[in-house]
Chain A
Amino acid sequence: MIRWLRVVLPPWWAVILAGFLYTLFQSALLGLEWYFDLPLFGLMDTEKEVPALVMGQFAFGYAVYRVWAFHPALRPGYFQWLCGTPWSSVKPLPLGPLHLVWQDVILLALWAGLSWPRAGLQSLNVFQVFLFTYLSLLGLPHFVTGQKSWAYAVAFGVGVMALVARNPWLCFGAASVTYVAAFLGLRASLASFPWEGTPLFSRFQRRMQQELKSKESAGQNPGPNQGTLGWPFDHLGPPHLDLTGFDRRDRLLAGLLLGWWFYVFYSLARSADSDWYGAHVCYSIFLVLGIAFRVAIYCNGYLPPLSLLGRLGHGRPIIPGYDQVFIAPLLALAVGAAVPLVPWATGLDPLIAVPSAVVLTTWILLLMGPSLQTWRLTGYHRITPGVMTTTQMR
């Protein structure tokens, strides 16, 4: 049985640690009840919710493990080794299956069973959390390995799962359909191994190798063209800026997906009888971060040609060649601030207005010119090492 389970079982230390933590938690709970001689948590829903929450966290960790440890696209060492073997997608993956297998069901059922005495039906959350995390994470390698359509389908499906999360049967139904999309995407993705000609994967792999290298002792894992080359090559060399992996269609779809997720989020907030306050705070954070991100990408290392004093002194408060870079962020700010106010003026449902604002602002930020390449190569700016370079290269 253990040998059969070991195909997907996390490392022993992780299993023992999880068992230890759960025992510790349950012992503390029982100890408190015994000491006070009353079912301390019986007065509250927490008796059910807390164990379910703990098991949910384990399920989350297990889902991360199931995708990260088994997907060759997410492990540079595994990927490189696999490239040197005669493996093809018709054979099983050497380190274990990436798709869901009966062992997963057994393990999750075991965890759900452990919390059943206290949490009852809420124990089934373990399955929900696992499926939500597993499917969400699986979308990423689908995207970078060129199976974008399946990745979008999975991302949409995950939103549906969240939308109907309070109804377990509907949620499992949505999860099943989403899993079919994820599974088909996985098959297509593995069939195109080793993902040559997928620029997004090459960049992703380089980034992963860089992360891996930073964890190892420096200099032991040489790889020539990984990461930054410092100043001036990053800014003034022939550009290695490759945006072909995230084209116009992707930007349009990314806006729609973000709008969809905000719709789900606002729907959940409404069903929880919330006064929208938390949801509006999240929307504001999204808007501010989105705008800040675009400004940082465009302006870090690309400063105005004249100081403020120089602008005023020369009677040129506006420098069109440089200030064009602020048009999109300002427009996004105006749209992002104005559209959510429409319901207040017209009575339109915020559930429609806010996601629409998200879609519009995302499109403005991702699609409106100048393009990054045009800006960096022909903009009217002064090029400097930039914050990231100066902090990383010291």
Chain B
Amino acid sequence: MDDMIIKKDKLPKWSSELSDYKIFAPHREDDVVIFKEMKNVNKVVLHYANSVMPPKEIFFPQTQELFKYEKSPEMKVSEAELPLEKVLLFGVRPCDARSFLIMDKLFYWDYEDHLYKQARDNTVIIGLTCTSPHHNCFCTSVGGKPYSNEGLDVLMTDLGDRYYVEVLTEKGEDVIRKPDELFSKPTDKDRKERGEIWEKAESEVTKNVEVEGVHDKLGELFESKYWDEKSRTCVGCGICSFLCPTCHCFDITDEDCGNCGRRIRTWDTCMIPEYTVHASGYNPRPGKKNRLKNRVFHKFRYFPDRFDAIACVGCGRCISKCPVGIDIVETLEEVKEVEEVEE
């Protein structure tokens, strides 16, 4: 499908045309930008570097029911309902969109997670080019671009009073083919403008790290003292993994309330001791160093080994929000420099 242009003031009209979709868009709530179901188009914010929470929870909710059970009079088990509603995810940054492809690798791996897949299949993702990257963004170092269209159905670029709309998939066509009078054909000037904006955005991603070689170097550093040093100030909270668009670990627990209950899947984080503790009480990752190391290893060694992709999209959230200023880019740089290979 050809590219399109939509005027910004036509957005409310367009969104009202899409009433068969449940629309999720970035909202501002007390200074935090999060993706929420859009009830009022005026509450949507599009001027932000990136949302505090990545939109991964649309496909992989923080709390997801797997099944319910009831004991009376006989045992009744009912599986969780499939998320059948059509969803439109609006305003996703290209880095977050790439994260969906990374999560796909895991959730479609040896077992195809039907809840995740259903949500993925039902969702149309409209991306928004990143025009003013945050100073902690480093997407270009891990294969992304502020205007990357990987994982997206539609990519829009802000051209001031209008958006340049690039339709990438059939799913995307479904939402764009709606009333024609909303969309017009782009001119050469629009194309040129878009090119300039893309270029400018890319040049503004200043933080970078050469990830080539990190994978192999990590292999030598499993026993390194470096991790003791690095993890000394880590407080062991879950911010880095809960805010990470590619972190996908979960825990499965039962919520029991007498004669009924449910089994739920909830986000988990490898940064807390409870993540690995065995029923016996033994913990194979007893210290902060083991846990911090695991997170870096998982992203830059284990995941690439298994799926041939780095599990990091360079969104910079973990850097911005770490309470003690642990910086993954700095960590990678240091990893490359570490000299000693422990005895």
Asked if A and B are interacting partners, one says no
Give chain B's interface residues, CB within 8 Å of chain A. none
